[in-house]
Amino acid sequence: MTTTPNPLTRGFVSLVGAGPGDPDLLTVKGYRVIQAADVVVYDRLVSTEILALAKPNAELIYVGKKLDFHCVPQDQINQILVDKALAGKKVIRLKGGDSFIFGRGGEELETLAENNINFEVVPGITAAAGATAYAGIPLTHRDHAQSVQFITGHVQKDGREIEWSALAQSNNTLVFYMGLKQSGHITTQLIEHGLDANTPCAIIENGTRREQRVFQGELHTLPQMANEAQSPALIVVGSVTQLHNKLKWFE
């Protein structure tokens, strides 16, 4: 059951996933919530078509991030949400993809909870699901992959490293978010931990958007492929990427 804000007390925050790029992939609930918002706090990858759904007098606040540059630090984003909600506003925190998959949605909700602000979560189609579907690459397939893992490409941030040996399995599909800059490190670690250097892989640039491009190669060529691609992009490693040529439909 959806929680309803009480206009007599304080505001309410809806954490909304806008999907991977194609505005038609916004959920019906996301559409309704955006139209009712007083304030829309949005990220870089939210399309202009989705922002246009906001009512004319809604306040739009851009807090987008890109690699190595955050125009508004995360703690300030958290404070904006708190301040607008305490002012009695209906606030939308609008993020590309899904807010709970590498979107820092949990961090922002923790701040709201600490300030006793009511909120709801409206899931979105995450980039891995949307971009691979538009590229004709099934994340799982009985003949190729029995599991799939989503991994952040920021693999060395704060000195934290991931379990590469657990990823280097031939029947697994790996999807790296934000991994272009770290493509060399990803390649080296996977090969050193046992994944065949000839494992098929792909990079999906601007997934689900009109300008989508798909690069195909093998794991040992991933750094060269990454040099040709631009952000936003996903790296997909696994034999399922070979199905792109047969199943591509969006191009």
Catalytic status, residue 95: no
- Asked whether the beta carbons of 170 and 143 are under 8 A apart, the reply is no
Q: Which of 43, 84, 89, 90 is catalytic?
A: 43
- Asked whether the beta carbons of 228 and 236 are under 8 A apart, the reply is no
Phi, psi of 12 (to 5 degrees): -150, 140
Residue spans of beta strands (DSSP E) within the chain: 12-17, 39-42, 59-62, 65-66, 69-70, 90-95, 119-122, 147-152, 172-177, 200-205, 213-218, 233-237
Catalytic status, residue 84: no
> Exposed, middle or buried, 216 (CB in 10 Å: 0-12/13-18/19+)?
middle
Residue spans of beta strands (DSSP E) within 76-140: 90-95, 119-122
Query: Which residues have C-beta within 8 Å of that of residue 243, sequence separation ≥ 6?
Result: 136, 137, 138, 141, 144
Catalytic annotation, residues: 43, 65
